[in-house]
Amino acid sequence: QSVLTQPPSASGTPGQRVTISCSGSISNIGSKTVNWYQQLPGTTPKLLIYGNNQRPSGVPDRFSGSKSATSASLAISGLQSEDEADYYCAAWDDRLSGHVFGTGTKVTVL
Amino acid sequence: VQLVQSGGGVVQPGRSLRLSCAASGFTFSSYGMHWVRQAPGKGLEWVAVIWYHGSNIYYADSVKGRFTISKDNSKTTLYLQMNSLRVEDTAVYYCARDLSSGWYGVDYWGLGTLVTVSS
């Protein structure tokens, strides 16, 4: 049972904006940076956002991250069919002395 | 960045297994390294991290006392020694590089290796 809580699913039509939340506490999101990962079906996870809102080279600017207090969000604007995947947030947790992943959100493109 | 994993397979409960991860394409001694696992049909679970210098090591509670992470900077290889394996340890295990020293989380992932614990 993860300490970072995400909604199990999210969906949208092509072109829409979808937002995924990640709820934590002062010991993780509240004091540490958040990363986001995309896992396409049957593939290895890929870093999507690091340091709360930084995109690695090659990640489209349709993906954006933000953080406020003990919550973080990933936004996908201009949703495309290839965005259908599982998305995970992650952060270091001072209380657990380790990294934690969120529960994961499955994004479906309708 | 390349992370080439080996050592997975089928093992009986209570037995041991060692995973290896050969790294290349970056200065291995300058980066922290992680193991992350994913049980079939489940989400990602962080397992362990070792700091770039090897002196700081942290484990998930679920593996503490049973698993040991180590790195050989001269061989640019990461290891995970798994002892007293349980059925619930069945998962794809990913070797992964930290964004920096060990604090910041994973950037590059290996392809994963399946560990099945079954009698």
pLDDT tens for B7-20 read 999 999 999 999 99
- How confident is the model at residue A12, as a pLDDT? 96
Q: Is A91 on the interface with B (CB under 8 A)?
A: yes
DSSP 8-state secondary structure symbol assigned to residue A61: T
Direct distance between the N- and C-terminal alpha carbons of chain B, in angstroms, rounded to an integer: 37
- How confident is the model at residue A45, as a pLDDT? 97
- Return the closest-CA partner of residue A79 out of A20, A11, A6: A11
Q: Who among B44, B99, B104 is closest to A88 (CB)?
A: B44
B110-B70-A49-A22 Cα dihedral, nearest 10 degrees: 110
Judged by DSSP in three states, A38 sits in strand
Closest-CA residue of chain B to A104: B43
10-residue mean pLDDT profile of chain A (110 residues): values are: 92 97 97 97 97 97 97 98 97 96 97
CA A8, CA A19: separation in Å to the nearest integer?
Answer: 12
Q: Who among B43, B94, B105 is closest to A99 (CB)?
A: B105
CA B43, CA A25: separation in Å to the nearest integer?
Answer: 20
